[in-house]
Structures are given as C-alpha cells and as structure tokens.
C-alpha cells in the first residue's frame, strides 16, 4: 500500500533539520497551507460568479461577493493573524505593510510578504493563477517590528513558496534545504507530497515572455529571442514558446520541464513589471534551491538592495544555462555603464521611471 505523506506531517518531520527550532516556522507554514485550501475552494467556484452574483453584489446565500484577489488577501492575513507567528504582513494588495496586533502575536518573530493572487487577470478566463509567499525573521529585537524588518534582501529569506491553482492545486516551498511540492487531494482535503526534492533541468527548450513588448526590449533580450528561434540541432533549437501570463504557472512549468521565464524592462515598465519583495525574491529563492538561476540581467535577484515594499525588478529566471546565455547577451549588447548604471539603479529603487 502506498503511504501518503501530508504537508502537515512533512513540515513536522523537517523541523528536525533546524536543531533549535521551536516549531514557529512550522506553524506559520501550516497556517499558509490552511489559507491556501480556502482560497482554492473560492478559485474553483470563480466561474459560478455570474450565476451567484458579481463582485460587489449579494449572492443567493445573501453573502457579499468579493473580488477574488481581495478575498485571498483577507484569508491569508486572517490565517496569519490567528496563527500568532507573524508580526507583519506585506501584501501586493495593501499600500502599506500591516502590523499583526493582539495577545497571540505579541512574541511573533516572522515577517510574511505575499502576493495573495498572482495573475489575477487570468481568473475570468479559467486559466491558472497562484499565490506567492516569502518569509523573513524579524531583525529588530524590541518594540513593534519596523520597515527595516520588511526591507530585507532576498538572501535573508528563511522560507518561500507558491501555490498554483491549476488543473490540480499544488503548494511548493523551500526552507533553504531543497524544494518540495505537494498536490491537494480534494477527496481528503490535504496537500500530499507528490514532487519530493524538485530539481530544474540545467538546460531546457521552453522560453516564456510577453513577446508583444518586443520593440521595447533591450537589445540583449532581442538577441536572446532570436537565438531561441534559430535552428540548431545540437542545442535542440528552435525552442518552444509558452506564455500563460501567470508567473507562478509559467515558472512552475519551466521548473518541471526546463525553461526560462523573462520579464525584462519595457517602455511602460522601465524597471520591469514584477515586484521584487513578493514576486521575484520568493520565486528566485525557490528556483535557486531547485538548482536554477535568477538575475535581472546584471545582478543576482536575491542580492538586490530592497528599498521599497512595492519595488519592481526585471527578471530572467529558470534553467541555469539558459539564464547564463541571456546574461552573456545582455553584457554584450545592453551593458550597464556610467550614467546608464546610475539611472538604472535609480529606476530599480523607484526614484525615477514607473508603470501605470
Ligand atoms: P499581477 O500581480 O497584477 O497579477 O501581475 C503579475 C503578473 C504575472 O503573474 C505575470 O507573469 C505578468 O503579470 C504578466 O504580465 P503581462 O500581462 O504584462 O505579460
Ligand atoms: Mg502579482
């Protein structure tokens, strides 16, 4: 008989990897897993919205319908609040970070940054969406946690993960000792270990990018796209283009099959579109732990200075050799130097440039 290992059992087992752990991180991960199941239930009902009532209206049970991203945000915050291990939640849905108050959280040591429902433009069309989370240990030792606790480099993450609400629902996470994936078995309502010790192939044949922005890409990226499309039997080119428009789904597929996901700078997004704290950093931590690579073309994502909660970054992430190839072409055709370098830095830091 095949023995099933649930997420809860796995987390407790892995606690022994951290000799002085008191179980707080384990409880935090468990809380996130619970919220993910609730969000999953609502995502699965999304197509019924028109029957049961649109966002902002009452459904037939007299409940007020909320937009799913708002709903997901509330679920994760409330799970973290009642769990008591988290002192600050920083979310894509909130302009400012949120202090978790209350007796149960008074000794909480962890900061959670979260994108509760990424790829939300895909909900209406029944395409996979995801949740991305990142966990830091608080740095300050007294009083209320502060912005200094939130703005830590990606290298300081103690755990990160994502949930993909797709043809099946999966939770994938790392605590810095490899990556493990769990598939939700709806019949028992548990995430079960289905993808132990996930590894991304060093080479791949899939590239994922919104090619509609081509004219605005830096020359290094344009050269890379041409490289992907040229015929070469030895390197299995031309590669296959696959772009869902949900970062979690695109990166998850590439992690399993081998591939690269690119979101470079564009005219409307001079520093890239995606957010460093709750999108790029957690996904980069996971991909690196799976043996892959993540950069902004010049610098490792996890080493980037973090100065703003909603700071943006461009990102090239996935199979190691594919990412190295883009870096090589960026260096050759779009080098950052002199004034460019200063300007790019200011854009990265959100001092100049922006996106609607
Ligand atoms: P969101 O956080 O508003 O959902 O935006 C993030 C999403 C990513 O999941 C995806 O990779 C990207 O935006 C797609 O952007 P685009 O439509 O510009 O290709
Ligand atoms: Mg997002």
Q: Give domain status of residue 356, yes or no.
A: no
CA of 293 to the centre of ligand 2 (A): 20
255 in the same domain as 217 = yes
CA of 23 to the centre of ligand 1 (A): 34
User: Atom of ligand 1 at shortest distance to CA of 120?
Assistant: 4
Q: What is the DSSP string of 289-356?
A: HTT-EEESSSSBGGGS----TT-B--EEEESHHHHHHHHHHHHHHS---HHHHHHHHHHHTTSS----
Range of the domain at 289: 206-348
CA of 279 to the centre of ligand 2 (A): 6
| CATH number of the domain that residue 290 is part of | 3.40.190.80
How many domains is the chain partitioned into structurally?
2
Question: Which of the residue ranges 84-93, 123-132, 339-348 would you say has the lowest mean pLDDT?
Answer: 339-348
Q: Which residues line ligand 1 (CB under 6 A)?
A: 92, 115, 118-120, 210, 245-247, 273
Q: Which of 68, 115, 116, 118 to mutate to test the pocket of ligand 1 (most atoms within 8 A of CB)?
A: 118
23 pLDDT above the threshold of 60: yes
58 pLDDT above the threshold of 60: no
Region 166-179: what's the mean pLDDT?
Answer: 96
Supply the pTM of this predicted model.
0.91
Distance CA 335, CA 219 (A): 10
State how far Cα 219 lies from the chain centre. 27
- pLDDT of the residue at 355: 41
188 in the same domain as 293 = no
User: Atom of ligand 1 at shortest distance to CA of 250?
Assistant: 11
93 pLDDT above the threshold of 70: yes
151 in the same domain as 253 = no
| CATH number of the domain that residue 93 is part of | 3.30.540.10
Distance CA 178, CA 44 (A): 30
227 in the same domain as 312 = yes
- pLDDT of the residue at 15: 84
186 in the same domain as 109 = yes
Distances from the Cα of 90 to the Cαs of 85, 247, 326, in angstroms?
14, 19, 31
185 in the same domain as 77 = yes
156 in the same domain as 12 = yes
Q: Which of 120, 132, 247, 284 to mutate to test the pocket of ligand 1 (most atoms within 8 A of CB)?
A: 247
113 in the same domain as 16 = yes
Query: Which residues are CB-neighbours of 297 under 8 A, at least 6 positions away?
Result: 218, 220, 221, 264, 314, 316, 326, 327, 330, 334
Which ligand is closest to the CA of 251, given by its number?
A: 1
Residue 208, helix vs strand vs coil? strand
Q: Give domain status of residue 115, yes or no.
A: yes
CA of 233 to the centre of ligand 2 (A): 37
153 in the same domain as 289 = no
Which residue's CA is the nearest one to ligand 1's atom 12?
A: 245
Q: Give domain status of residue 11, yes or no.
A: yes
Question: Band of the pLDDT at 354, cuts 50, 70, 90?
Answer: very low
CA of 275 to the centre of ligand 2 (A): 7
């Amino acid at each position: 008989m095949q023995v099933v290992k649930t997420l809860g059992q796995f987390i407790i087992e892995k606690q022994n990897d951290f000799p002085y752990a008191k179980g707080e991180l384990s409880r935090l991960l468990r809380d996130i897993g619970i919220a993910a199941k609730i969000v999953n239930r609502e995502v699965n009902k999304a197509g019924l919205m028109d029957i049961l009532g649109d966002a902002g209206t009452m459904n037939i049970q007299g409940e007020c319908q909320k937009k799913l991203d708002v709903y997901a945000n509330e679920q994760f915050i409330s799970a973290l609040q009642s769990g008591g291990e988290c002192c600050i939640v920083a979310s894509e849905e909130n302009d400012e970070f949120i202090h978790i108050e209350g007796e149960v959280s008074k000794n909480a040591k962890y900061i959670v940054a979260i994108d509760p429902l990424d790829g939300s433009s895909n909900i209406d069309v029944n395409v996979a969406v995801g949740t991305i989370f990142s966990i830091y240990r608080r740095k300050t030792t007294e009083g209320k946690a502060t912005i200094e606790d939130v703005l830590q480099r990606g290298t300081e993450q103690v755990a990160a993960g994502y949930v993909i609400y797709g043809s099946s629902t999966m939770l994938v996470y790392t605590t810095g000792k490899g990556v493990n994936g769990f598939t939700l078995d709806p019949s028992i309502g548990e995430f079960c270990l289905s993808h132990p010790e996930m590894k991304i192939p060093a080479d791949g044949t899939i590239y994922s990018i919104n090619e509609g922005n081509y004219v605005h890409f830096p020359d290094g990226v344009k050269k890379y796209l041409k490289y992907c499309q040229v015929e070469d039997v030895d390197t299995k080119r031309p590669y296959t283009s696959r772009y869902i428009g949900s970062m979690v789904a695109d990166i998850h597929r590439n992690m399993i099959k081998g591939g690269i996901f690119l979101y470079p700078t564009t005219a409307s997004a001079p520093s890239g579109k995606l957010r460093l704290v709750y999108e790029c950093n957690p996904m980069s931590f996971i991909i690196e732990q799976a043996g892959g690579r993540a950069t902004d073309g010049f610098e490792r994502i996890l080493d980037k200075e973090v100065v703003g909660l909603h700071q943006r970054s461009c990102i090239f992430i996935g199979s190691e050799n594919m990412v190295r190839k883009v870096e090589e072409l960026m260096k050759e055709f779009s080098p950052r130097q002199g004034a460019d370098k200063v300007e790019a830095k200011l854009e990265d830091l959100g001092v100049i440039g922006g996106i609607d």
